[in-house]
Amino acid sequence: MAGREWDETQGKEQRMKESGKHNKKNIKKPVLFTVIILAVLACNHVFGWSARVGGTDTLEFLGRMAQEHMAAAVFAYTAVTVIGCVVLTLPGVTFAILAGLLFGPVLGTLCCTVAATLGAMAAFLAGRFFLKDSIKPVVMKNKYLKKWLFDESGKNELFVLMITRLVPLFPYNLQNFAYGVTDIPFGTYSIYSFVFMLPGTAMYTVGTAGLADRENRVLYFSITAVLAAVVIGWVCFLRKGMYCGRQRKGWKRMNGKFRIKDSDKCVHCRICRENCSFLSKYGLDIGDTAELKELAYHCFLCGTCTQVCPLGIDGRAVILDMRRERVEENQGKCPEKGYALVLAEKRNYIYRNKRRLAGRSILFPGCNFPSFYPKTTRKLISLLEEKEDMGVLFDCCGKPVAELGLKG
């Protein structure tokens, strides 16, 4: 026994040492990253790099270079854009406008998009190296950020990437470093960044080219308006495709609407909580799966949450799935007490009666309707037997057992 206790003690000490080393390693990178950022900010303040890069001197310098040697001007512009967006925190729209003035609508759009993508890739790699190990565990504690930035399918991450890329107004330095913290693959990030930035960048470069070119101003402004419509339409279309698309796996039709059983799509708008007495009582949304699973048998399965959900989440089906999971975890038995009599009656229905099956067709009233309305049931059976030559079957359809998450 003493030897075993000694081994356990040694094991705990070893794990504590390894954990301490891992924490120190995680702290070193963010500290180094912070030092680099502070150094850049200090130098920028002293030497005025942002003012120089975003000023008229840079525009005049690149303009002269473009007239003398276009390839050199493109290379210089790319370098300036990468440095300006990643290091000096200048807004991306500044370089989209600069590209439109220097290179025109077509070449300007291409140069700006390529340069911005290269800058995004560099910042992404820096964020992944310096920040991911330390920042990700903290972000994962927030269920909303976890849902949007660490979605296992990767679809939520792509949607956020699309929104921030379509219009070059978001601070590139912050979002690029932030994407490095997520689990999105580098190749996917790079390709989709280029694709999603292209229409928004073109909107600014073409519009700027229209200001500089009086002869083609109407044409360029018209193209800009079309691009703006494309950007807005693209956002709306993809958003609808993510949440309300009818072809998505798992959707089913209910009361004329398409519903989905995936509670991970919940955005916690609280509409279901405001309309459902069960959810309101416990202060939960249909997306709070961990808490709901423990309370699954408290739900009335009324379907109110399903009817009011703007994203089409079938809350009733979600709760039923949770009950089935709990039954499976409990080795096929109902995990909640108080249902023994119900199961004894319904599972092998003790009032099953097949003696009145004669007739052209059969009435099946189930088990609950005759129990609650016996006089109505007798009157209905009498009328149908007399007028329509119908028989009757008394049995349980199995719904009470199925709603407990059990198999019939």
pLDDT along the chain (408 residues), means of 10: 48 51 65 82 76 69 82 88 78 81 87 90 89 80 69 69 68 78 88 86 83 77 80 66 44 49 79 90 88 90 87 88 90 87 83 81 85 88 84 86 84
What does the pLDDT read at residue 2? 44
> Residue 141 in contact with residue 85, Cβ under 8 Å?
no
- φ, ψ of residue 260 to 5 degrees: the values are -130, 145
Other residues' Cβ atoms within 10 Å of the Cβ of residue 3: 7
Helices then strands (H, E): number in the chain?
20, 4
Cα 130 to Cα 35, 123, 126, 218, 350: the distances in Å are 12, 10, 6, 48, 67
What does the pLDDT read at residue 158? 75
What does the pLDDT read at residue 40? 79
| CA dist., res. 335 & res. 230, Å (int) | 53
In sequence order, the 6+-apart residues with CB closer than 8 A to the CB of 141 are none
What does the pLDDT read at residue 244? 46
- Print burial letters for 15-41: b (CB count within 10 Å at least 16), e (below 16): eeeeeeeeeeebeebeeebeeeeeeee
pTM above 0.75, yes or no: no
Give, in degrees to the nearest 5, the angle at Cα 231 between 226 and 232.
100
> Residue 55 in contact with residue 93, Cβ under 8 Å?
no
- φ, ψ of residue 360 to 5 degrees: the values are -70, -30
Measured in whole angstroms, the distance separating CA 286 from the mean position of its chain's CA atoms is: 15
| Location of structure tokens 């003398």 | 68
